[in-house]
Chains A and B, each alone.
Chain A
Amino acid sequence: MTKRYMRAVAAIAVPVCLASAPLAAADKQDLQTILQEVKALKKTYENRIATLENKLKSLEKKKASAAKPATPASSSRSIKGNSFNPSIGLILNGRVSSFSEKNSEISGFGVGEEGERGKEGLSIGESEINFSANVDDKFYASSTVAIVQEDGSDKIELEEAYIQTLPDAGLPDGLRLKAGRAFWTLGYLNEHHSHADDFADRPLPYRAFLNKSFNDDGVEISYVVPADLFIEFGGGVFRGDDFPSGGSVSGLGAWSAYARIGGDIGDNQAWRLGAYTLHTDVNSRATNEDSVTFIGKSNLYAADLRYTWAPTGNAKDKEFIFQTEYFHRNEDGTYNDSNAATGNVNFDDSAQGWYAQTVYKFAPSWRVGARYSQLLAADTPARLTGSALDSAGHDPSTMSVMGDWTNSEFGRLRVQYNREELSNGKEDNQFILQYIMSIGAHGAHAF
């Protein structure tokens, strides 16, 4: 089998070899020309491909350069640089007031400038500019500047400038630290900016005991307890420059503490109850246009209660709010009324003040409210008789009613009537018409 196979292969191979030898000899030149032609062909094709490739490359380049102007970087305003800017909010507040009494003095109390009755006629109230933002992952910062008119010229007041820790700051859960200048935790209203108030002016105890609000320089710590009931307590240390302190020498002249609890009743009612104390070292506190001076210690104790009821659960549509605060102040030191030439008079006594108010929102844009506030002056030491600190047995009081219209969350118009009897026999009938508008960022209001 294999032999026959080998023979067959040989039979085919030999004649092929014999035949190819003369063929190669004859067509050697033809083959060379063919090879040359193929080489030439190859060259032309290579050239053509190269030119095509070049054309493609230049087309791609053109396309890329044509696409560039369409990218937003150059065609539209880049706002990336603004995205890290702080939130900016502006509160505009203006009013027109009319008073039936020419003068307004709260008898029996040394009252600071901001605790006084506002200006009569047309005026703009505090216009506030607020900047706020997270500093980084650990801190939040906020600053509120108020432009106020005092003694006929515009002044800039730094109402708040503080930093506050964020949940990421590494403090234990529920613990927060606030440092700088702020409306510190003291009663209900003090923490809030006055544009958020339900009435056009602050109630009497705030005017007499806090000169409208306590925003000294300081540090405050607060802690929310992990419990079903809302339980919070905290306290702070302050410089001791702001009313009720004054003229800080040590730079560490006041401290505070507070505790409060709160919760819900059913689905649509909420409450919060608080107790507060503020102890200050008063090196020199000038009031009543600098005629009255107090030096000594001032201890303030306060309690507040706030209750809200939204019948449908939607406070936006209908809501009833009841709010009350009580203040007790004990002062130990010396009073001096230069107008009455009393000289330094020893003083160690207590005064009280309170207010209660209800506000009822009966339609989404409409609210009405009533407030009563009263001060109970300390007994007048004999040597202060006839001075600004002589209450003459009178307890200053104010009855207020208001109505306001809220077009949106950002704009509100209010009309208010006050009947004030701040000193004996002087009944002051006041009408106030007020607008409060906010533009830009506007943080949510706390409870």
Chain B
Amino acid sequence: MARMHFKGQAMFRNLSLISVLLLGWALPAPASAEVRIFACEPEWAALAREIGGDKVTAYSATHEKQDPHHIRARPSLIAKIRRADLVFCSGAGLEIGWLPLLMQRGARAKIRPGTPGYFMAAQHVTVREKPAVVDRSMGDVHPDGNPHIHLDPRNILPIARELVKRLSVIDPDNSAVFTANLKKFDKEWGMTLKQWEEEAHDLKNMPIVVHHRSWSYLIGWLGLREIGSLEAKPGIPPTASHLQALLKKAIAAKTRAILRTPYDQAAPSNWLSERTKIPALVLPYTVPRDAKSGTLKILFDDILVKLRQANVHP
């Protein structure tokens, strides 16, 4: 017993020595001047780059082919969040399955909820489809409403403005840069928005079927007509009986396209497409993770071109 304790103490001493060495190796990298942003989704990383410019580094935890509802709390993500100065996510329950776990494991005080470093975009726009009652039998419903807020481009500006507020608190020295970037972005986005809305005028009331309710904000913005969704209940894979019922409805409504994201299962929309001759359309859900090939503007340009093509050639 006594011997064991003695040995234990020696081991502890060794361990603490190793810890100190490890710390010494990991810490000296001088805290880089840029604000490190942990974005849950690529769209927020893209916006952070627009507003932050070279004063920030933005990392997106997910890529454009991933379903942000279901992400594993991988070790690499813990490492990223451990060093983040700002967590920038959709919120409204979209990341409920993985973000809290990462936050807990990363144990970073400056990004905990309630601080400027914890930025949930959905809190700064009007959230759609907030259910009055929730029950698991309703599928994977979000009690806080539909979280796919970035697909209404009108939501981008209020979020960008809030981002500047947060960044200015985190990095006051560069506050002027963020404000100037916002001003530029604000102007450009306002003009582009007008242009899109003019171009998309003929999309009003275009009948469509969706896979998951990922498109509600886009539908709301463009005034598309949602005939139904392939998932009878959110998050529950489509069933044969539900698809049969939807088939008749889709034909009757002269549906122009069956929309899905790149990460939705292809089979249900292909099934419906084969039987109805309505084209199944994969629309980009977000920007590519590496921002060189994608910005928010390109995302909406792309979506509008694809929708208009589908509308013209049914």
Contact = CB atoms under 8 A, between A and B. Distances in A.
Given A167-B108, A173-B108, A447-B72, A227 B26 contact: yes
A254 B112 CA distance: 34
Given A173-B82, A279-B8, A308-B72, A313 B63 contact: yes
Contacts of B73: 444-447
Given A167-B108, A226-B82, A233 B75 contact: no
Interface string B132-171: 0000100010000000000000000000000000000000
Given A233-B19, A316-B67, A263 B82 contact: no
A267 B67 CA distance: 13
Given A168-B112, A312-B65, A314-B263, A230 B107 contact: no
Contacts of A271: 75
A263 B65 contact: no
A314 B79 contact: no
Contacts of B19: 223, 233
A297 B4 contact: yes
Interface residues of B, number: 52
B251 interface: no
Contacts of B83: 226-227
Contacts of B140: 409
A225 B11 CA distance: 21
Nearest to A255: B8
Contacts of B26: 225-227, 231
A48 to B, nearest CB: 50
Contacts of B79: 224, 227-231, 262-263
B312 interface: no
A270 B63 contact: no
Interface in A237-265: 250, 255, 257, 260-264
Given A176-B107, A233-B19, A263-B76, A314 B236 contact: no
Interface in B57-71: 62-63, 65-67, 69-71
B265 interface: yes
A364 interface: yes
A116 B12 CA distance: 34
Interface string B19-39: 100110011000000000000
Interface string B83-118: 100000000000011101101111111111000000
Contacts of A439: 136
Contacts of B104: 140, 166-167, 176
B74 interface: yes
A140 B104 CA distance: 10
B22 A231 contact: yes
Nearest to A440: B136
Nearest to A438: B136
Contacts of B27: 226
Contacts of B305: none
B240 interface: no
Contacts of B98: 444
Nearest to B102: A444
> Interface range on chain A: under 10, 10 to 19, 20 to 34, or 35 or more?
35 or more
Nearest to A226: B83
Contact of A171 (B66, B107, B236): B107
A316 B109 contact: no
Contacts of A223: 19
B65 A313 contact: yes
Contacts of A365: 237
B1 interface: yes
B112 A233 contact: no
A447 B75 contact: yes
A227 B82 CA distance: 8
A232 B81 CA distance: 14
B285 to A, nearest CB: 12
Nearest to B75: A262
A352 B91 CA distance: 47
B78 interface: yes
B270 to A, nearest CB: 15
Contacts of A447: 72-75
A317 interface: yes
Interface of B: 1, 4, 8, 11-12, 15, 18-19, 22-23, 26-27, 62-63, 65-67, 69-76, 78-79, 82-83, 96-98, 100-101, 103-112, 136, 140, 235-237, 263, 265, 289
10 contacts: A166-B107, A171-B107, A226-B27, A230-B75, A261-B75, A270-B74, A312-B66, A314-B67, A444-B100, A447-B73
Given A281-B4, A310-B72, A314-B65, 16 more contacts: A166-B112, A167-B111, A173-B107, A173-B109, A174-B106, A224-B107, A226-B27, A230-B79, A250-B1, A255-B8, A261-B75, A272-B75, A313-B65, A313-B263, A364-B237, A446-B105
